[in-house]
């Protein structure tokens, strides 16, 4: 690998973003020396959505959630995650 270019100093995050959007990082960083990193407390980004559900389904979710002592929205997320994982496996 040839000599790496020096990463410039940036005045702002915006300036840095613009720089990396138009430059090849492999000219500045030797990725063969990179080390893996674990971020165990990093929470995934979430997005709020609006979802219309039948009232009877919400009532059933609340009953099931109450048995598990979790909020029904959390139980719904758990069910969705399980089902998506199942679908991905097949």
Sequential pLDDT tens for the chain (90 residues): 579 999 999 999 999 999 999 999 999 999 999 999 988 899 888 999 999 999 999 999 999 999 999 999 999 999 999 999 999 998
pLDDT for the residue numbered 1:
58
- Structural contact between residues 65 and 74, judged by C-beta atoms closer than 8 angstroms: yes
Q: What is the pTM of this model?
A: 0.54
């Amino acid at each position: 690998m040839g000599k790496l270019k020096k990463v410039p100093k940036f005045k702002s995050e915006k300036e840095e973003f613009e720089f990396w959007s138009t430059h090849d990082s492999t000219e500045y960083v030797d990725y063969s020396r990179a080390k893996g990193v674990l971020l165990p407390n990093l929470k995934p980004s979430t997005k709020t959505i609006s979802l219309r559900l039948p009232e009877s389904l919400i009532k059933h979710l609340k009953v099931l959630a109450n048995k598990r002592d979790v909020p029904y929205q959390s139980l719904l997320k758990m069910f969705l995650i399980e089902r998506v994982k199942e679908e991905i496996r097949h």
